[in-house]
A and B are shown apart, each in its own frame.
Chain A
Amino acid sequence: MPNSQMTPGVAPGRLPTETYSNNFADLHAPLDAHEAAVAADRCYFCYDAPCQTACPTEIDIPMFIRQISTGMVESAAATIFAQNILGGMCARVCPTETLCEEVCVREVAEGKPVEIGRLQRFATDKLMASGVHPFTRAAATGKKVAVVGAGPAGLACAHRLAMQGHDVVVMDGRAKAGGLNEYGIAAYKSVDDFAHREVDWLLQIGGITIEYGKRLGDGMSLVDLSAGYDAVFLAIGMGGVNALSADGDDLGGVVDAVDFISDLRQAGDMSKLAVGRNVVVIGGGMTAVDAAVQSKLLGADTVTMVYRRGKARMAASVYEQELATSKGVRIIYNAQPVAMHGEGAVNEAEFEYTSEADGALKGTGETVRIAADQVFLAIGQTLEGAPDGVAVERGKIMVDDAGRTSMKGVWAGGDCASGGDDLTVTAVAEGRDAAIDIHATLMA
């Protein structure tokens, strides 16, 4: 008998095969030309537009929307890419509801922002589909820069450096480029292997070599690297995860949400992926939401997200929370993990309710047990393997506004570096800006 949502334990194929492609289709369908024209028409072309200020990469949003309105979609895309070379991915994954669209004057006036993210996707998709890469390299400078990490920060930095005429070597410990675009972002935000296609498109600039399976720290130190290159950019993200300090955290079925998501992103066939009948996700950020929603989409019968503080403190936006509940995820606020129960494998997760006074979290003494065949931990990522020689501050590599670390000739950006939110778009902005500073420094 085939598996169903009710099959006990952890099992694959809980849903009819055809349901998977539906479940993991684009979260927001792309706009067609008519929809884009109507959406673009709503832009007021604001002066010193709030949306542009809110975008970490400061895309000239009114301009690209005007270019869509006037039928010049490729020019619109060029406007976007000039600021944000991963504008295609950002159009899919940016929490626009807390960035550009939140401050759109039409959101403020009517509660309906101009659909900036979807328009951005409309423009970038069109140019990328044509295979055109709108930038060319400046004359060769003879300088060589090493970039460690091929995530959004590393790629944005590498592209800008290549454009300025430098030669760039990007090293990444994994087998594919893209960082969390490839291994982390929810599958329904990056369908049809977009992360991979975007990297290929970006590399068309030329002058960038990617060395896969090469980790800084594994037989290669930062000092060695610095000696061999004119500059180094560190963009290693946050590879570690916080550990759960609760009884039973070593039981089978208790896993890191990022590992689950990474397996899911690399799975060719979702129906082959095992998921618990009852799933519990611990955490309140984007990772927790993504693990919960995707468990549900894989066919889990019940999915419960448990967050230790109140709704307002949750890192996932209201929009993300509503997305989760709309997919059938139950969210429990104000409960912290106490113990995982089970014989060999987990079958119940126990939580204690909490109350918050003056920011301090206190257990109330009352507990609750939730059936759980799988428990995903999404209680925060940490910097792992920061190289010797650079100062680390509050768990991140310390950088100044230009992305310079404490070590001469070494810059850092993205999730691994201090400053800015841990978002794709912020990583792109930091990578780009570090490249601009590296260029200025090398050419001085």
Chain B
Amino acid sequence: MADLTSNFIGIKSPNPFWLASAPPTDKEYNVRRAFEAGWGGVVWKTLGEEGPPVVNVNGPRYGAIFGADRRLLGLNNIELITDRPLRQNLEEIARVKKDYPDRAIIVSLMVPCEEEAWKTILPVVEATGADGIELNFGCPHGMAERGMGSAVGQVPEYIEMVTRWCKQYCSLPVIVKLTPNITDIRKPAEAAMRGGADAVSLINTINSITSVDLDAMSPEPMIDGKGTHGGYCGPAVKPIALNMVAEIARNAETAKLPISGIGGVTTWRDAAEFIALGCGNVQVCTAVMTYGFKIVEEMIAGLSQWMDEKGYTSVDQFVGMAVPNVTDWQYLNLNFITKAVINQDDCIKCGRCYAACEDTSHQAIEMSADRVFSVKDDECVACNLCVNVCPVDGCITMKELPAGEIDLRTGTAVTDEYGNWTAHPNNPSQSTCAPGAD
């Protein structure tokens, strides 16, 4: 069986599945149970300065959107950092670490952007025996208004400065957690690297309003008739997170920077995808908040089954394997031609592909009187919409046309030569850019 043990920036854990800094890691009781359930590590719920802790709202702090069957797809929250005293958290961290020496405990931190504040908290955190720290530069609500969280994460100079302080006053590995509420994710990652960060983790939550109460005319979650934007997470944010991870992984400047992947990881497959795009491990929050700690069993069994099937014996063997295949649009091969094919044995005759293609796309699906749906190769542009709307997985697939075959839509023969937009005759700024250079 595949070996799932993980060594992320020198921090060892029995598997690459960590719990992200959030309610699941807010106290000893939770973390002990998470470790018993099999989680490889946790990033403890973000700690603030010594002194009276922050206070949370006393009404609903979550909002959600759902798929069919009320399956939770996206969660939003207006919770702050830990609202328990610093001392208590530190004592608990020390106790749990002592009892679970093989698991990773990372302490998430958010204190004001002042050298003194960091200089004060770092030694007490280090004294707990924790394996590393994570700098929460991501929280988009409540703390940002106080000049912390994403307010820092949106200013690369601050990130660099705080990271440097942490490396200076603490010997633990430093992970910088990035906010997605920014235009170009590479900038904060580069800043973290300049500051000496050992790794970045991303994404934190995304600014969002999940719904509006149409009677009260207030955003949800609603507190006494008013609402505010919260942080969005869960399966819905995975595509955004994957893209940001990939941007950092393929950026020459940050290509070597280790990444801890976060955002919508729900199954073993999500985890494998983050890892393939360059993450050394993953962190999970919403999925455990939805289903409980036990899902890690499925993640462990699924990842090892898949690795066995592929012949990988350790996670490191496929970290970043998909990165070289992430390119810019202009370098995609325009001579690669496919056509949709509907497998009639699998088709349940719902007609969704027909509605999608006929009404909104290229009128490339034919429907017979007895509800047989077939693709018109002379119209199909291979957009994939029918594949995406079909309720039967694998019923509609894309078949690649071999070189020499005539594409019935254009009437021209398929060539096996690579040809991208940079060299395309229709490109007004056609350059002599070498094919494949990116």
Interface size on B, residues (CB 8 A): 21
What are 29 A-B pairs at a CB distance below 8 A?
A33-B393, A33-B394, A34-B348, A34-B393, A34-B395, A41-B69, A45-B291, A45-B292, A62-B294, A63-B294, A63-B297, A66-B291, A66-B295, A66-B298, A67-B301, A67-B302, A69-B267, A70-B267, A70-B269, A70-B298, A72-B268, A72-B298, A72-B302, A72-B306, A74-B305, A75-B302, A75-B305, A78-B301, A79-B301
Contact B393 A70 (CB under 8 A): no
A70 lies within 8 A of B69 (CB): no
Q: How far is the CA of A71 from the CA of B270 in the complex (A)?
A: 12
Q: How far is the CB of B104 from chain A (nearest CB, A)?
A: 24
B267: A residues at CB distance < 8 A: 69-70
For chain A, give the interface size range. Answer: 10 to 19
A34 touching B346 by the CB < 8 A rule? yes
With A45-B292, A66-B295 already in contact, 12 other A-B pairs whose C-beta atoms are closer than 8 Å:
A34-B348, A41-B69, A45-B295, A66-B291, A67-B298, A67-B301, A69-B267, A70-B268, A70-B269, A72-B302, A74-B305, A78-B301
Chain B residues lying within 8 Å of A37, measured Cβ to Cβ, are 393
The CA of A62 and the CA of B297, in the complex, are separated in Å by: 11
On B, residues with C-beta under 8 Å from A are 69, 71, 267-269, 291-292, 294-295, 297-298, 301-302, 305-306, 346, 348, 392-395
Number of CB contacts from chain A to chain B under 8 A: 46
A42 touches B298 (CB 8 A): no
**Of the candidates A34, A47, A75, which one forms a contact with B301 in the assembled complex, judged by CB atoms under 8 Å apart?**
A75
Name the CB-closest residue of A to B345: A32
- Beta-carbon nearest neighbor of A106 in chain B: B69
Residue of A nearest to B290 (CB): A45
Complex interface residues of chain A between 44 and 97 (CB less than 8 A to chain B): 45, 47, 62-63, 66-67, 69-72, 74-75, 78-79
- Report how far A71 CA is from B294 CA in the complex, Å: 18
- Measured in the bound complex, the distance between the Cα atoms of B391 and A37 in whole Å is 10
CA distance A37 to B346 in the complex (A): 13
Contacts of A67 in B (CB 8 A): 298, 301-302
Closest residue of B by beta carbon distance from A65: B298
Q: Determine if B292 and A47 form an interchain contact, defined as CB atoms under 8 angstroms apart.
A: yes
As a 0/1 sequence over residues 9 to 50 of chain A, the CB contacts with chain B under 8 angstroms (1 = contact) are 000000000000000000000000110010001100101000
Q: Are A34 and B306 in contact (CB under 8 A)?
A: no
In the complex, what's the smallest C-beta–C-beta distance from A68 to chain B, in angstroms? Answer: 10
Q: Which partner residue on chain B sits nearest A70 by CB separation? A: B267
Taking CB atoms and an 8 Å cut-off, the chain A residues in 204-218 that contact chain B are: none
B72 to chain A, nearest CB (A): 11
Considering the complex, give the chain B residue whose CB is closest to the CB of A44. Answer: B69
B71 nearest in chain A by CB position? A41
A residues in contact with B291, CB < 8 Å: 45, 66
- Minimum distance in angstroms from B79 CB to a CB of chain A: 22
Roughly how many angstroms separate A37 CA and B394 CA in the complex, as a whole number? 12
| Minimum C-beta distance from A42 to chain B (A) | 7
Q: Which residues of B contact A66 (CB under 8 A)?
A: 291, 295, 298
B294 — which chain A residues lie within 8 A by C-beta? 62-63
Of all chain A residues, which has the CB nearest B294? A63
Closest to B306 in A: A72
Are B269 and A71 within 8 A (Cβ)? yes
Distance in Å: Cβ of B241 to nearest Cβ of chain A? 19
